[in-house]
Amino acid sequence: MNILSALSIYICLVACGLIGGIVNRKFLHPADKYLRYLLLGNIIVELTAVYFMNIYKNNMYVYNVFSPIELFLVVLYFQKRIDWLQRRKMGVYIGIIGAVFAVCNIAFLQPIHTINSIFLLFEGFIIISLCVFSYYQLMLHRQPIVSNVHFWVTTIFLIYWSCLYSYWGMYNVLLKELFSYMRPATYMLWMVNILAYLGFAIIFLFYKKIAAIRE
């Protein structure tokens, strides 16, 4: 699978999820609108990144700008789903801290035209922590699991960001010492990305049926 094929599949899956979110908008939990914005943002970013790559031969600008926005949307989703965060509006504060960290990272550590691996590790740590916190609340309130939309969204985020965190955590080692493993690791990341957004597409396309079962 080449990068163009992977990107085409990815955009199609994200578009399917977005369409499902629009069609089933009346049934969405208030938190899920942030996921819909995230899907829309991903489509805009990937198309813009293709344009930047063709014109400027570098699309890191696009991803570096979108990363703190992505984090903000995800933490706002979890704020709506996790009672403790919602009562204290902690999602907003975490999002602001993330934006400040992103700016500092660009200003002092990794310029905007380079890969922002440090911020991605920070983002991954925050999202994985929120996923674990979310599981704790599900167990604490004895909420349904298999029929729970939030459980599946959390599971997708946890698997996806755990893989992403591992990849970026090992990036320099793969690049310098284990370069022969870089291509397989990148292909694996593409597959995880595709499977994650396939999961989101299924959730939003069949949201009405899932929502018929009380969470």
Residues in the chain: 215
pLDDT single digits (tens) 140-163: 877 777 778 999 999 999 999 999
Contact of 39 with 10, CB cutoff 8 Å: no
For the cut 90, the answer to whether the pLDDT of residue 11 exceeds it is: yes
pLDDT of residue 140: 85
Structure tokens at 131: 């996923």
**Which helix (DSSP H) or strand (DSSP E) does residue 180 occupy?**
none
pLDDT single digits (tens) 170-203: 988 888 888 888 888 889 999 999 999 999 999 9
- Report in angstroms the alpha-carbon separations of 22 from 100, 148, 176, 194, 197: 32, 20, 44, 21, 16
pLDDT of residue 95: 95
Structure tokens at 175: 């690049």
Contact of 22 with 35, CB cutoff 8 Å: no
Band (pLDDT 50/70/90 cuts) for residue 215 is very low
Band (pLDDT 50/70/90 cuts) for residue 89 is confident
pTM: 0.93
Amino acid at 14: V
Neighbours of 21 (CB within 10 A): 25
pLDDT of residue 213: 56
